Structure 1
Amino acid sequence: MIGRAARVSDVRRRLLQTGICLGVMLCVDFAASAVHAESLPEALAKAYQTNPALNAERARQRATDENVPQALTGYRPQIAATLSAGLQAVRDLLPNNVVRTANLKPWQIGLTVTQTLFNGFKTANSVRVAELQVQSGREALRNVGQGVLLDAVTAYTNVLANQSLVEAQRANVAFLRETQAITQKRLNAGDVTPTDTAQAEARLNRGLADLNAAEISLAISQATYAQVIGNAPGQLRPAETTDRLLPRNREDAIGLAFKEHPAVMAASYDVDVASTTIRVAESSLMPNVTVQGSVSRSRDSDPTLGTFGTDQASIIGQLNQPIYDGGMAASQTRQAKEVAAQSRLVLDQVRNQARTAAISAWVANEGAKTAVSASESEVRAANVALQGVQREAAGGQRTTVDVLNAQQDLISARARLIGALRDRVIASYSLLSAIGRLDVKTLNLNTPDYLPEVHYHQVRDAWHGLRTPSGQ
């Protein structure tokens, strides 16, 4: 009995040495890579700058900006120039059957300027619609930005969690491999039965399978990270939560979501767009007043004509009052009213979704705090239990399978703690997104904020030019 206790103590000592060596190796590796470790704010800044989905949405918004200068053309004159020239063969039959032929070279050049004076306020309402579309598009862009940043947080924390899980599983495999080797030696010494060896071998293979699964999950999360962030992950620093930026209670979260979430604000602008579109459609029933000025010069080399050229200049005012267009304008007006009613219902739906998302995010964030606290307590208790089982096994009161079970409980508790810490970070950022404040300015990221109004002002009053601003 004394010899068995001595051998068990030797097992504990060797396992402890193995654990210390692994811990030292991990600390050395961490210290060597800490200088080059990437933080979560740095990863978010990269995603904000390079993410293809976000850059594509910015390009869409720049295209939407062009609706405003297009609508403003209704206030501006339309100028057209015409030029015609050619060859004309003439064959005249004169009295006494005399035939005369000639080759003529007529040409004409003209310039016409048309200015709309009144079109039933169609231009003014069209400009208003275009401006509201720009506002709605900016909110849609902000919403996409929130989604990209949240995806970046998820990708970052998944890699961080899976890296920790792989290290934990490797330490577990080392423990099980050492346990299996020592059990085999004790079997050779006749101290344990073949059952103990089989149990140790089974747990080792289980640990190897768990390690393989963790490595697969890490590889997948690394690929997702590269897709979202723009580069492969290296050593990552622990991620912090955004508790300092979150509302104090659930009611505040709901209120902020109603007022500031980009999806709600975009839907509100869409209601204004639809309502103003009704007036655009109604303008087709109103009179249209234009003034047109033109100048032209023509030349003709026909010798039979009294003149060889004509110069003309004119100014013409025109009033056009639609009387009946087959019902087109009436149908378009009714259609616009139905679209406006639909947009109001969509706004109510989006507000309900924002309220639900805010409540869900708030509850998830509070639950994540509880999960982390419970997981930390579980890990501490599992550590104490493993040490107790090892001491009892040294005294002959526990078997090898008891030690293996205690080790499995500990590694499972550590895996749950790693997952809880990951969920805690994601939940805090999800709540920040649910209230509409997951952006560069709020997070104070070290990257210039993309300002869509810059491009808008560059093109709004542009009367000409084919080149896009800033080379875009």
Structure 2
Amino acid sequence: MVGRAARVGHVARRVLRTGICLGVVICVALAAAGAQAENLPDALAKAYQTNPQLNAERARQRATDEGVPQALAGYRPQIVASLTAGLQAVRNLLPDNTVQSANLKPWTIGVTVTQTLFNGFKTANSVRVAELQVSSGREALRNVGQGVLLDAVTVYTNVLANQSLVSAQRSNVAFLRETLGITQKRLNAGDVTPTDTAQAEARLNRGLADLNAAEVALAISQATYTQVIGNTPTQLGLAETVDRYLPRNRDDAIGLAFQQHPAVMAAAFDVDVASTSIRVAESSLLPTITMQGSVSRSKQSDPTLGTFGTDQASIAGQLNQPIYDGGMAASQTRQAKEISAQSRLVLDQVRNQARTAAVGAWVANEGAKVAVSASESEVRAATVALQGVQREAAGGQRTTVDVLNSQQDLILAKARLIGAQRDRVIASYTLLSAIGRLDVKTLGLNTPDYLPEVHYHQVRDAWHGLRTPSGQ
């Protein structure tokens, strides 16, 4: 019995030494990685600059900006130049029964300028609608930016967690291989039964399957990282929470979500758009006053052959009052009113969703704190338990299977801790997004903030030009 206990203790000491060596190697590798690591703020800055979804939304917003100069065109004169030319054969029968004929080459050139003086306030309201659509679009852009940054946080922490899981599973497989080798030697010496060897082999195969699953998850998370961030992940630094930017309590979170979340603000602007669109529709029922001036010159255009050319200049005002258009304008007005009512209901719905998201994010963040604390306690307890089992195995009071079970408990506890730490970081950023503050300015990222108003002011008062401000 003493000899068997001594051999078991020898196994336990070798297993412990192997675990210590692997731990040292992992720590050294992590320290070396940390020296050249890409941190989370850098990854967020790259995603903010290069993410295709976000850049596509910025292009959409630039297109929305063009709605304002299009509406402002209603205030400006419309100038049209015309040129007509052709061939004309003329044969005139005169009173004295003589025939007068000629082959003419008539042409007319002219310029017409039309200025709208009053159109039932349609232009003014259309400009207001376009400006409100720009404001709504900016909030939609901000919302997409929040989503991209949150996606970047998620993929970053997923890669980081999966890298840690792969390292832990590789360490576990090495531990199990060593244990299986020692058990087989003991079987050959007659110290253990084939059952012990089968148990060690089964545990090794389980460890290999867990390692494969962790490597598959890591490969998938790395591909997703490349899609969102724009580059392949290599050495990632630790991800920290953003607790310093978060509200103090749940009520504050709900209040901030109502006031600052871009989805709520965009829906509020949409209500204003719909309300103003009613006045645009009603303008079709009001009179329109225009002023038109024109000049023209024509040659050989008189089929009587009485004149060779004509020069004309005119200026005239015109008043049009719709009487009945088949009910089109009335229907459009009723339609606009229904859309306005719909937009108000959508605003209420978005506010409710923002409230639910804020409460959910707050609860999830608080729950993540508890989960991390519990997982840390579990790892500490599992570590103490493993050390105790190893000492007892060295004294002959425990078997190799007991050591393996305790090691497995520790590996599972570490996996849960890694997942809880990942969820803790994501939960803090999710709460920051739920209150509408997940942006470059709040996070202090090392990248210029995209300012949509710059493009807006570049094109708002543009009277001409086909090129975009970027030169396209």
**TM-score bin (small chain):** over 0.9
Unaligned runs of 5+ in 1: none
**Distance in 2 (alpha carbons) for counterparts of 1:33 and 1:336:** 60
Contact residue 293 and residue 314 of structure 2 kept, 8 A:
yes
The match for 2:287 is 287
Matches within 5 A, 1:6-155: 6-92=6-92, 101-155=101-155
AA matched with 1:325:
D
Q: Pick closer, same or farther for the CA change 1:188–1:27 going to 2, 3 Å.
A: same
Q: Pick closer, same or farther for the CA change 1:94–1:120 going to 2, 3 Å.
A: closer
Contact residue 361 and residue 430 of structure 2 kept, 8 A:
yes
**Distance in 1 (alpha carbons) for counterparts of 2:34 and 2:388:** 35
Matches within 5 A, 1:109-258: 109-258=109-258
**Distance in 2 (alpha carbons) for counterparts of 1:294 and 1:374:** 84
Unaligned runs of 5+ in 2: none
Q: Pick closer, same or farther for the CA change 1:307–1:167 going to 2, 3 Å.
A: same
**Distance in 2 (alpha carbons) for counterparts of 1:459 and 1:407:** 66
Matches within 5 A, 1:395-434: 395-434=395-434
Secondary structure (helix, strand or coil) at the match of 2:108 reads: strand
Secondary structure (helix, strand or coil) at the match of 2:470 reads: helix
Contact residue 12 and residue 393 of structure 2 kept, 8 A:
no
Deviations 1:89-110 (CA, angstroms, capped at 9, x unpaired): 2344568986654321111111
Residue 470 of structure 1, CA deviation: 2.2
Residue 29 of structure 1, CA deviation: 2.5
Contact residue 264 and residue 351 of structure 1 kept, 8 A:
yes
Secondary structure (helix, strand or coil) at the match of 2:112 reads: strand
**Distance in 1 (alpha carbons) for counterparts of 2:63 and 2:318:** 35
Deviations 1:128-165 (CA, angstroms, capped at 9, x unpaired): 00000000000000000000000000000000000000
**Distance in 2 (alpha carbons) for counterparts of 1:52 and 1:362:** 30
AA matched with 1:188:
N
Contact residue 104 and residue 302 of structure 1 kept, 8 A:
no
AA matched with 1:157:
T
Contact residue 94 and residue 100 of structure 1 kept, 8 A:
yes
- How many matched pairs? 472
Matches within 5 A, 1:383-398: 383-398=383-398
Secondary structure (helix, strand or coil) at the match of 1:469 reads: coil
Contact residue 365 and residue 424 of structure 1 kept, 8 A:
yes
Deviations 1:324-374 (CA, angstroms, capped at 9, x unpaired): 111111000000000000000000000000000000000000000000000
**Distance in 2 (alpha carbons) for counterparts of 1:18 and 1:397:** 21
Contact residue 254 and residue 355 of structure 1 kept, 8 A:
yes
Residue 213 of structure 1, CA deviation: 0.1
**Distance in 1 (alpha carbons) for counterparts of 2:303 and 2:110:** 24
**Distance in 2 (alpha carbons) for counterparts of 1:33 and 1:269:** 48
Residue 289 of structure 1, CA deviation: 0.6
CA-based RMSD of the aligned residues comes to 1.5
Deviations 1:269-293 (CA, angstroms, capped at 9, x unpaired): 0000000000000011111011101
**Distance in 2 (alpha carbons) for counterparts of 1:134 and 1:357:** 26
The match for 1:310 is 310
AA matched with 2:252:
D
Residue 394 of structure 1, CA deviation: 2.4
Deviates more, 1:86-95 or 1:102-111: 86-95
Contact residue 9 and residue 393 of structure 2 kept, 8 A:
no
The match for 1:259 is 259
Q: Pick closer, same or farther for the CA change 1:398–1:266 going to 2, 3 Å.
A: same
**Distance in 2 (alpha carbons) for counterparts of 1:383 and 1:41:** 33
Q: Pick closer, same or farther for the CA change 1:200–1:265 going to 2, 3 Å.
A: same
Deviations 1:178-220 (CA, angstroms, capped at 9, x unpaired): 1111111111111111110000000000000000000000000
Deviates more, 1:437-446 or 1:400-409: 400-409
